[in-house]
Chains A and B, each alone.
Chain A
Amino acid sequence: MEKTFRLFDHTADLGIEVFGETETALFAHAALALIALTTDLEKIASVTERHFSIRGEDRTDLFINFLREVLYLINGEGFLPREVHFDEFQPGFVRVKIRGESFDTEKHMIYKEIKAVTYHQASVEQTRKGWKGRVICDV
């Protein structure tokens, strides 16, 4: 499988560059990148489902707002996403279905806490090969 994300250097924080064949795949890969940096993705089972919908002023804003909601699921609710699906994906609006399970200290080892997804140098763009997104996270 092709790499869906890579880290880029940022002095204090964590820069993530994400790729996807489609914009939907890009969003899903970005969410899973946040998880993969937090814990071992393979150890998460798709047990329960969460839903949310979110808006954004433009493409990048939507991307950031979507990732913030994912991060809230992890940090705020202790829910670890494993699969990301979109029931609706429109300009400035997404309706999301996430499957995963609750954090379990016995089963899930947490590598690091991503505090927040920032707007600093964030971008979403179409490339020759598909879509690319960049985001810097506060850790």
Chain B
Amino acid sequence: MSEIKMERLDDFRWQIPRQGGMRVPGILYASERLLRAMGKDESPKQVANVAHLPGIVKYSLAMPDMHWGYGFPIGGVAAFDAREGIISPGGVGYDINCGCRLMTTYLTHQEIRPHLKDLVTALFQHVPSGVGSTGPIKLKQKDERRVLTDGARWAVDHGYGSAEDLDHTEEGGALAGADPDKVSPRAMERGREQLGTLGSGNHFLEIEVVEEIFDPAAARAYGLEKGQIAVMLHSGSRGLGHQVCDDYLARMVKHLGELDIELPDRQLACAYLSTSRGQDYLAAMACAANYAWTNRQLLMHWVREAFEKTLSMSPKALGMRLLYDICHNIAKLETLPVDGKDRTLCVHRKGATRALPAGHPLVPAAYRNIGQPVLIPGDMGSGSYVLTGTTKALEETFGSSCHGAGRVMSRAQAMKSSRGRSITKDMADKGVIVMASGRGTLAEEIPEAYKNLDWVVDVVHRAGIAKKVARLQALGCIKG
């Protein structure tokens, strides 16, 4: 643990009291065992650093999957007043709207067991993945602009999926206010070639089986049953998003002097939301977010095709349906209650998800009595959780929850500890078929590089900022 003073608030919350230039305190959601496992991780210091930013409301938060990022911690949530606050590209991250989508099927584990290897191979061949991969879709400039403004709807309009998919996507798959003129030619150029690609690093595609149901009523509403096959997809806005972040970060660093604020880390460079620089970034970031939703919509289409072809099934018989698509790297203007009063806030979720409760108008109609689905992927081969948003999250964490297991081991350590091992074989021994574009990715993504997913989810569940619905176990995995 870095040398940051922390006070225990209750079983799962730790407070970093205001000190130095902090405008608000910091609050970490964690259990003792998670804090111990974090070791020398610098995320608490980063939580304190975020608290220095102008217009921050109430506190700088970190979810239990927190780990050392650059600027903001991964797992960080911070809300800024829309009039007096800032927006920070580093608070969103390079992979703007990196996120997950979970698709359910009518298939059972029994049925696909003999075809699993073929399915994983088909997915690997059918879904472009890996470093520098380009997609089968070659966008013209005019089309790219539509992707950036229309988001996932563009894909649906071009035959990739249905309107129901959009209903089950956060923000309907398109953030308002996207303006392609605010996206640099470099970013546009990078975006044209990579639409419909999974990417590399921690991005993946996983065939999973529903292993355990915790909340039968919620599971029923979400269409989840024990023994059912589902597919989890994790990808983002590719080179376009990276470039948008980089472009605006450079621009904001250049003008830092004008802000008249002392920043503890240049990576926290930001602009007031009320300024043209802030607004320009918001409009460009929305474009990247929309690109990511289009990307995941296309990827899902190819997953559907790969399943249909391999199993010789009709779309109807397969019944592959989008349960939900959630983003975990984003800044959004949201109306949220603060001390009982609704306020418009710019919520930054960097490695954190939205988690709205039952009855909230932004929860899809089919789930409104239950709450918004929260998708939590684990490390390679360990499966995922489906949770549901809660009123407590709305009141305590700006309607947010965790986004994954969170790393504990650096990539260099992971490479070292995986030397001489066959990761593919290790995974096969656990009953998970893995295919990857490069061995490097596999070695860096070994399960022990991550926190224990069950521990992380246990904290959010018991702290009440999301409730467990189901746990899924991995069967087959494609890594980029």
Interface residues of A (CB under 8 A from B): 7-15, 57, 61, 65, 68, 72, 75-76, 78, 103, 109-113, 115-116, 118-122, 136, 138-139
Contact = CB atoms under 8 A, between A and B. Distances in A.
Contact of A14 (B69, B131, B253, B411): B411
A11 B405 CA distance: 13
B67 interface: yes
B201 A11 contact: no
A72 B68 CA distance: 25
Interface residues of B, number: 44
Given A118-B71, A118-B267, A139-B411, A110 B189 contact: no
A78 B70 CA distance: 26
B74 interface: yes
A72 B407 contact: no
A58 to B, nearest CB: 10
Contacts of A75: 132, 190, 239, 242
B410 A10 contact: yes
Contact of B131 (A61, A112, A122): A112
16 contacts: A7-B412, A8-B412, A9-B410, A12-B68, A61-B266, A65-B250, A75-B190, A76-B189, A110-B132, A115-B242, A116-B242, A118-B90, A119-B70, A138-B70, A138-B94, A138-B242
B293 to A, nearest CB: 19
By DSSP majority rule, is chain A's interface helix, strand, loop, or mixed?
A: mixed
Given A7-B412, A11-B409, A116 B245 contact: yes
Contacts of B190: 75-76
Interface of B: 41, 67-71, 74, 90, 93-95, 130-132, 186, 189-190, 199-201, 239, 242-243, 245-246, 249-250, 253-254, 265-267, 269, 407-413, 438, 440-441, 444
Contacts of B444: 112
Nearest to B38: A11
Contacts of B95: 115
A120 B88 CA distance: 14
Contact of A68 (B93, B250, B408): B250
Contacts of A110: 130-132, 438
